[in-house]
Structure formats: structure tokens, C-alpha cells
Amino acid sequence: MSAAVIDVRSAEDVRDVVHRTVQALAEGQLVAFPTETVYGVAASALDADAVKRLAEVKGRAADHPMALAVKSADEAFDYVPDISPLGRRLARRCWPGPVTLVLGNNHPDSLIQRLPSQVHEFIIPRGTLGLRVPAHPLILDVLQLMAGPLALTSANLTGEPDAVSAEDVIQSLGDRIDLILDDGRSQFAQSSSVILVHDRQVNMLREGVVSEAAIKRLARFLVLMVCTGNTCRSPMAELLMRRRLANHLGCQIDQLDEQGVQVMSAGIAAMPGGRPSIEAVNVMLERELDLSPHLSQPLSAHLVGHADLILTMTQSHRDLVVNQLPEAENRVRLLRADQGDISDPIGGSIDVYRQCADQIDAQIEIQIQQMNLESLIGEFRSQ
């Protein structure tokens, strides 16, 4: 019997499609979903019979695992509680999105233990777990209402081209699955990139939508310095942090990116494109650092979401960041180790700026001494 097909684009209320899909999955049916990459076919990972049927329909080798689709990075961390800082960084930056992270699965508190044991042979046959948070609203809405994750694989027979439309799914699997959700051609019409993350190491297993070069950028450890206007304190801190990190890593400042480290700055109330104060530029020139090309930028949710360590000049800066984005609290701290404020030198003399720069530089050294840089910086290896 052919699969039922729902044209999502013409649905009067997409919520009805979501509820019907959740019910189908709960009943053990196989559902083909549009994603931002290619079409995928899914089963409830709580239903061992459905997952086994999915493997049979797919014609997938026993040692070729399916991915688990979860609703968010936070839920993913429950499946890999001991995920490394690098793994958390990539999850935070890549999800929702066209990246599958392959992670170690050896933690006794992993939620994988709550899935039926028969499902394990299809999800973790090699001792690693592939996790994905697709960036398509339909599957994300379904995941929000599911009691557990989805076993997800591409909606084509093994060895055949990827399905990038509902018509492709019908041709390949139409008489083998139960429901197909048609949302037109996939956005990227290309597979997800598959990345193996083990401690500090990143291995590209399959280059898909996200290139190897982009993954290298996304894997960088990012320090974000924050003040008010991003014209004096945080820009000076940005340059001083770069120099200190370069010294600790034994490289030139312009080689930090190659070392897997990035430093940026932003302001809570900054105007985009503002020039640094002349006093800040001159004080940095005295230290053989060029601040003149700097353009101010406002602090954004995107920057906060990507940053691994956010150092604020004052307690009020920290409070503003945490109040607006509570999920970043563990990554935001005061630059001063004694929890005091770095006073704003704006309007002060050149000596005031020198004292501010000295204070910032000393506190940056303390912060770096407290870091374990080796554990934070990723090492990229092609596979």
C-alpha cells in the first residue's frame, strides 16, 4: 500500500499536520520528513519494532548506525553528559542546522539507556552516537511533542541518490513507509555534514552542507570582551587578550586563528561602526598594538550564543547579558578576578587610559592562568 502524502504547503493549519504526525509515530508508523538538507524518514526511538522496520525498509547494513534527532542541544547533552567543551561548542553553534555530531557513548547516565535495548543495535552499534537537531520547523514541532527522540535516516534506499523532494521519496520508498510530509524541494538539497568529536579532536567523516573550512572556523575557541560602547575598554581588552594568548600559545597574534582561537569585542549599548577613542588608540600604539581599524559593534544574541567565554568590564554588564540570555550564565564572568569593575576611562586623560589598560592587561593574565587552554582548543583532523 502506498504511503499517505500530506502537502504541508496547502495545509489549513500546520498544527493539525504536526499532531497527526505525532500520532502516526506513536503508533509505530514510519514518516518521511522534509529537512533543510534532504528528506529523512523517521521512527520513534522508543519503539523497537518501528526502528527495526525502518532499518529493513532502508536496507541499511547492521553496522551503519542511524542518527537520533533531538529537539535541542540541551536535550542532546542528556544523551552525552560528558561531552567535551569542543563538542558543546559545535552543538551550540551548529544546531539547529545541517550538521550531525558523532560523539562517544560511554556515560552511565546517558538517556540512551532509557531507549529499548533492541534499539541500541541500530543507534550505537559502534559505541558512538550520532545526534542531530534539524533546522526545519515541522520536524522540530513534532519533536517538541514527542516523548522521546526520533531514529532518523535519509529517505532513500541505501546506495541510491538522496531524496530532495517528496516525489523522490515516493519513488524510492513510497510503498514501504506510512506517511510522507511534502514541503517542496529541500532548502540545501545536500546531505548534512557528519563530524566525529572525541575530546579535543574533530574529524570530518562526511563533508555535506557545511564545509571542512567552515567546521574549522566553528570549532575555534571564542573569547568575547564586553563593555558599554565598544570604543575603549573592550577593544583594548580584545587586543591585549590576543597578545597574551599568542604569548601563551607560542605563536604570532595573526596566527591565533590557525591555533583555533578567536577574540572579539562588543558593547552593550554600542553603535555599529563607531571609531575607537583617540586615547585608546594612542595607548595601544604605546604597546605596539594597532587599534585604529576597530569598528564598534553592539552585543547580539548571536555573538553571545557563539562565545565560549564572555568577560565583562562591570557587574552591570554581566547582569545585562545574563538577564537577556540566561542560558549563557555559565559562560559569562567579570574580567576582574576580585569581582570588581573596570572603570570607564571615557573623558579621562591619557594617564587614565594607561591605568585602565594596565588593569585590563593584568586581569587578562590572571584569566588565562585559570584557563586550561589545551583542553579548550580543538584539533582538526581530516578523515
Digit-coded pLDDT (tens) for 182-238: 999 999 999 999 999 988 889 999 999 999 999 999 999 999 999 999 999 999 999
CA 145/CA 132 separation, integer angstroms: 17
pLDDT mean over 84-111: 93
Average pLDDT of the chain is 94
Identify the pLDDT of residue 62: 65
Q: Are 239 and 337 in contact (CB under 8 A)?
A: no
Q: Which residues pair with 237 in a beta bridge?
A: none
Cell (9 digits) for 114 = 532509557
Q: For 310-359, how does the pLDDT look when each residue is reduced to its tens digit (9 = 90+)? A: 999 999 999 999 999 999 999 999 999 999 999 999 999 999 999 999 99
- Rounded-to-integer distance, Cα 363 and Cα 357, Å: 10
What is the residue type of 206? R
H/E run at residue 86: helix 85-94
DSSP state of 298: B
Look at the block and give the residue holding cell 594596565.
358
> How far apart are alpha carbons 150 and 153 in whole angstroms?
10
Terminal alpha carbon distance of the chain: 42
Angle between helices 278-286 and 233-249 (to 10 degrees): 20
Positive or negative: CA dihedral 350, 351, 356, 359 = positive
Which H or E run includes 69? strand 67-69
Order of strands across the sheet with 201-206?
A: 4-7, 179-182, 31-33, 40-44, 150-154, 67-69, 128-132, 99-104, 193-198, 201-206, 379-382
Inter-residue contact 239 to 233 (CB < 8 Å): no
Looking at residue 59, its pLDDT comes to 86
H/E element, 74: helix 73-79
Residue 334, SS3 per DSSP? strand
383 pLDDT more than 60: no
pTM over 0.75: yes
DSSP 24-68: HHHTT--EEE--SSS-EEEEETT-HHHHHHHHHHHT--TTSPPEE
Q: Which of 168, 254, 170 is nearest to 1 (CA)?
A: 170
How many other C-beta atoms can be found within 10 angstroms of the C-beta atom of residue 8?
Answer: 18
Residue 250's CB is within 10 A of a number of other CB atoms, namely: 8
- How many whole angstroms separate alpha carbon 248 and alpha carbon 232? 24
CA distance 321 to 342: 17
pLDDT of residue 2: 87
Coil vs helix vs strand at 252: coil
For the stretch 100-143, pLDDT in tens is 999 998 788 999 999 999 999 999 988 899 999 999 999 999 99
| pLDDT at residue 242 tops 80 | yes
Closest residue by Cα to residue 194 from 102, 128, 124: 102
Contact at 8 Å (CB) between 184 and 199?
no
User: What sign for the dihedral angle of Cα 191, 192, 197, 203?
Assistant: positive
Give the chain's radius of gyration (CA, Å).
Answer: 24
Residue 60, pLDDT > 90, answer no
pLDDT of 180 reads: 98
User: How does pLDDT run across 258-300, given as a tens digit for each residue?
Assistant: 999 999 999 999 999 999 999 999 999 999 999 999 999 999 9
Q: What's the pLDDT at 87?
A: 93
Q: Is 367 left (phi over 0), alpha (psi -120 to 50) or beta?
A: alpha
Looking at per-residue pLDDT, the higher value among 80 and 374 belongs to 80
Report which secondary-structure segment, H or E, holds 262. Answer: strand 261-267
